[in-house]
Structure 1
Amino acid sequence: MLTWQLWCTLLCVLWIYFLWSRRRFYRLIFQIPGPVGYPLVGMAHKLLHKEDVLRVFNHYLDKHGPFIFSWLGPIPFIIVKDPKIIQDIFNSPHCLNKGIIYMAIDDASGQGLFSKPEPLWSVHRKLLNPAFGHKLLVSFGPIFNAESASLLKTLEPLVDCGEKNLIPLLQSFTLNIATQTTMGSEVKYSEYIRSNKLLEAYHSLLESMTDMCFSPWLLSKTIRQLLGREEQYAKIKSQISDFIRKIIESKLTKGSEAPPLPEDKNIFLNLATDLMNRGIFTTQDVQNESSTIVFGAFETTANTVAYTLILLAMFPEYQEKAFEEIRTLFPNTGDFEVTYGDTQNMTYMDLILNESMRVLTPVPIVARQTMQDVQLSNGIVLPKGVQIGIDIFHLHRDKNIWGENAETFDPEHFLPHHMQDKHPYSFIPFTKGIRNCIGWRYALLSSKITLAKLLRNYKFSTSFKFEDLDFVEDITLKLRKVPLLEVQKR
């Protein structure tokens, strides 16, 4: 049995080895302010719970400035909300790889475009860009319109029935759209989707992903088994995988005997299976990319629409302005077709959506890592192997950028004369630069069509106060307590 003296000696040797192995990062301690933390642990102990992450980041950014350095155990990492440094990172060819926390996403849903490393990411992004082009996006209009018409009917029984949580309805709605625009319109008849089992599976998977991001030991199958968490996790992964695989197999089996419906001609799955038939993609590539795109599209779009409605319910004066603009474009209530051209005329809606994504940014933190040494515009060189957390949430609420009312909701923040002097990377809800979000146009068009129909037909109100909103970093932004909305007919 080791004596306490031997334990102390062992720890000292370990600490000396750690210092020696990390020596090339130590100059950052003198160049970049930040919390050093404890030996071997750094500040990892402060980030064990997702409820604490945004609060901890905010504390240290306020204390040390918008660009700080610290340690996560033996791993050096940067937290940044400075738009100039963010621009350097997002435009560097040596910062294209996502951070190590995305290993949890790879484990849960497979390695798709969201987390794929270089050089594979560049290859896949170039191949998949046509699936998100302007012409194809406009062709999704019938799906966006048809599903939003169904959403209007779903809300009808809730009129004048008190305050309700609308997020589950909106998530089901956006998942229906995401699966159809990814895999084809026939998928909406699947019982797995109609029964909301796919939605439940994705929710369960997201919860596991988040737990693994903040508790990396859960990436070990053995540890999950010891904790009794592996069986359910594996079951959910298998269900989603089987659902997508069957759709792929069905499409391959039909082949040329059953040409796609007109609205399905250019969907992602047709492009991906064509790449597979040409030997460029594997079956696993098609499955991983399909799952990643569906998950990314439905979760963030549902939150964007839901949070916009919540904010407009809290600030009814802005809701009325949006309603007046929509009523000018669409004089009659009920269902109506919203074209791409109509969405380009929704100038006030643009202000509202931007402000909603500023105040309640869809993805509050994104992570990158340096693949080579990176020279920043402030003269500092980040060595290879540094993890970087881009704190979009607090960038969007920085009073030095957005003024004293940065933490409240005011669409006038995005009036041209208010934006002209702001750094172009001050507002990055879909990130920017080389590895920006491939689906940002899709998200905006879908959200605008949905909000136009909802706000033209219904008025939303809430007793929940804006100042009582409390936020949780959950890969996507979550609210600790979801405000309930009352629905009234226009």
Structure 2
Amino acid sequence: MWWYLLVPYICAGVIIVVSYVHWTRRKMYKTLATMSCPKTLPLIGHAHKFFNATAESIADGLKFFAEFPSPVVIHLGPSPQVAIFDPEQARIVLNSQNCLDKAFFYSFLRVPGTLISSPGPLWRSQRKALNSSLGPAILGSFIPIFNNKSAILVDLLEKYAGEPERDFSVDIAKCFLDQIYETAFGCNFSMQTSPEGDKTVDMMGDYMHIVSKRFFTIWQYPEVLYRMTDAYKTEQALLKAHHEITENIVRQVKFHEQINMTDEKFAALDGSSKTHNFIECLVKYMRTSVHTSQADIFSHIDMTLFAGNDTTAKSLSYVLLLMAMHPEVQERCYQEVMEVCPGEERFISAEDTANLTYLDMVCKEGMRLFPVVPIMARVTNNDVKLDGKYEHHTIPANCNIILGVYQMHRDPSIWGPNADQFNPDNFLPENAAKRHPYAYLPFSAGPRNCMGLRYARIAMKVTAAHILKKYRLRTSLTLEELRVSYGVMLNIANGVLMSLEKR
């Protein structure tokens, strides 16, 4: 074939480009020379560790780098990434004003200009405007919604009692979809009882799978190359389908009408309520923002659904699976629930959730072993000098930083020799006090932490309490045989396989 004649020229071109990039970044490489760096291959660096990588093998790749003293330089071709596996280093990075920006591959989520992806200055204004949508006052008003949607879930699960094991992750995801649609947007779409619920959960799962695959397929990073793939076509089809739901939300809450109201009319409407949910705070913010296009509105709503629903649903699914594996822990949680809020039909109050201390420990331990966001990534906009015993290290400007949350959560030097085992006592107050506060990062930390962390913890405990009141959870799976797969979020490849037994 004639194109074989081009191969030498293509190879020569690649070598020239890579060599040029290396030369322009020589100062960066010199700064990074103080850090650990496993042996590299010419031109490609450590990229071979991720060639043909699957969602499951990525965990093994990062485990390899975590065995070196942190910070560790990972070279993906000519592009160096600094991997952090140390809590103190994580503290410095997550609190630095020079590390507020997210790494470029968060753009793959297609939610530009939102809390997930916005650069520092824009993020600050958004966070300030939207913080009150998850403040203590409004969180208390969400409790009845959490209870109502959880009660529906418990009733729907009854048909599976006494049946063989099945994967309950979709059922739990639909419950949390119902919760977030009503709490964040004031919409009741009845996802648990509508055929649309399964379609929506499947659609969101397929979309996250495509985005995750791109995260670890380096040649698809350039948008021009990615747009040539079948994955791009599938992604766009899924986004189009999802935006039909988003458009329905916008229509129901009369978003555009509120944005275009006169100041006097909006002030009267806004002042009629003491608390405001996410969509109401978003309307208020966008009335004063230059970013008010349909795409901007859709991005904010999509961001809330991706970040607020999927993460919480997966976290609770994994916690329930761990309870099923450890009957003695499950029984203790059940006894606590019945003591704090007795009666199968009784709803759980905000005060009850605060008193479910052992259940809280179990949820935290579940999120330690299976953090739904297994890695976080930032980019430096100026040099970041580490301090203390790491003061000889400086992370240069314009460098991606990868924080290995999953690896830190299972580090024996932090959690002891049984770091891979399930032990809720890790979160007894006296044990937690001995650990570095940044050793546990299920919701990130620092100024750009997860805004919805209190929402997630309350929703998880209310839903778990309702399930435990009515069912015993069983599983044939063991902790040792669970396989994790990496992506935007962490998945248990085995599935959330459980059986239910009525109490």
Question: How far apart, CA to CA, are the structure 2 residues paired with 1:131 and 1:286?
Answer: 16
| Equivalence for 2:262 | none
Deviation at 1:7, TM superposition (A): 7.5
| Equivalence for 1:406 | 419
Question: How far apart, CA to CA, are the structure 1 residues paired with 2:202 and 2:222?
Answer: 24
| Equivalence for 1:20 | 23
- Bigger drift between 239-248 and 359-368 goes to 239-248
CA separation of 1:375 and 1:177: change in aligned 2, threshold 3 A: same
Give 3-state SS (helix, strand or coil) of 2:166's partner.
Answer: coil
Deviation at 1:227, TM superposition (A): 3.4
| Equivalence for 1:60 | 65
| Equivalence for 1:351 | 361
What letter is aligned with 1:196? D
- Which of 146, 149, 152 aligns to 2:148? It is 146
Give CA deviations for 1:389-413 in whole Å, capped at 9, x if unaligned: 1001010111001111111001111
Question: How far apart, CA to CA, are the structure 2 residues paired with 1:122 and 1:51?
Answer: 35
Give CA deviations for 1:352-404 in whole Å, capped at 9, x if unaligned: 11111111112111111111111111111111011111001010111001111
Alpha carbons 1:176, 1:193 under 8 Å: kept: no
| Equivalence for 1:176 | 178
Alpha carbons 2:84, 2:403 under 8 Å: kept: yes
- Which of 385, 398, 405 aligns to 1:392? It is 405
Deviation at 1:276, TM superposition (A): 2.7
Question: How far apart, CA to CA, are the structure 2 residues paired with 1:192 and 1:269?
Answer: 23
Give 3-state SS (helix, strand or coil) of 1:485's partner.
Answer: strand
Alpha carbons 1:180, 1:188 under 8 Å: kept: no
What letter is aligned with 2:84? V
Q: Which runs of 5+ in 2 are unaligned?
A: 259-264
Alpha carbons 1:221, 1:230 under 8 Å: kept: no
Give 3-state SS (helix, strand or coil) of 2:451's partner.
Answer: coil
| Equivalence for 1:296 | 307
Alpha carbons 1:78, 1:387 under 8 Å: kept: yes
| Equivalence for 1:381 | 394
| Equivalence for 1:324 | 335
Give 3-state SS (helix, strand or coil) of 1:186's partner.
Answer: coil
Question: How far apart, CA to CA, are the structure 1 residues paired with 2:147 and 2:273?
Answer: 13
CA separation of 1:192 and 1:230: change in aligned 2, threshold 3 A: farther
Give 3-state SS (helix, strand or coil) of 1:196's partner.
Answer: helix
Q: Structure 1 vs Structure 2: percent identity of aligned residues?
A: 28
What letter is aligned with 2:497? L
What letter is aligned with 2:21? F
Q: Which runs of 5+ in 1 are unaligned?
A: none
Alpha carbons 2:18, 2:78 under 8 Å: kept: no
Question: How far apart, CA to CA, are the structure 2 residues paired with 1:230 and 1:424?
Answer: 40
Question: How far apart, CA to CA, are the structure 2 residues paired with 1:94 and 1:435?
Answer: 12
- Which of 161, 186, 210 aligns to 2:212? It is 210
State whether structure 2 residue 119 is matched by structure 1 residue 117. Answer: yes
Alpha carbons 2:32, 2:395 under 8 Å: kept: no
Question: How far apart, CA to CA, are the structure 1 residues paired with 2:189 and 2:7?
Answer: 64
Give 3-state SS (helix, strand or coil) of 1:87's partner.
Answer: helix
Alpha carbons 1:272, 1:281 under 8 Å: kept: no
CA separation of 1:161 and 1:26: change in aligned 2, threshold 3 A: same
CA separation of 1:34 and 1:269: change in aligned 2, threshold 3 A: same
Within a 5 Å distance, the mapping from 1:88-487 to structure 2 comes to 88-105=92-109, 107=110, 109-188=111-190, 194-218=196-220, 223=225, 226-250=228-252, 251-252=254-255, 266-279=276-289, 281-283=291-293, 284-333=295-344, 335-377=345-387, 378-379=390-391, 380-487=393-500
| Equivalence for 2:35 | 32
Give 3-state SS (helix, strand or coil) of 2:472's partner.
Answer: strand
Question: How far apart, CA to CA, are the structure 2 residues paired with 1:221 and 1:401?
Answer: 40
Deviation at 1:238, TM superposition (A): 1.6
Deviation at 1:289, TM superposition (A): 1.1
CA separation of 1:339 and 1:31: change in aligned 2, threshold 3 A: same
Deviation at 1:478, TM superposition (A): 0.5
| Equivalence for 1:70 | 74
Give CA deviations for 1:133-190 in whole Å, capped at 9, x if unaligned: 1111111111101000001101101111121111111111111111221211334489
Alpha carbons 1:66, 1:80 under 8 Å: kept: yes
Alpha carbons 1:366, 1:389 under 8 Å: kept: yes
Question: How far apart, CA to CA, are the structure 2 residues paired with 1:69 and 1:28?
Answer: 11
Deviation at 1:218, TM superposition (A): 3.8
Question: How far apart, CA to CA, are the structure 2 residues paired with 1:228 and 1:9?
Answer: 29
Deviation at 1:102, TM superposition (A): 1.0
CA separation of 1:118 and 1:317: change in aligned 2, threshold 3 A: same
CA separation of 1:158 and 1:25: change in aligned 2, threshold 3 A: same
Give CA deviations for 1:403-428 in whole Å, capped at 9, x if unaligned: 11111001111112222221111111
Give the CA RMSD over aligned residues. 2.7
Alpha carbons 2:102, 2:379 under 8 Å: kept: yes
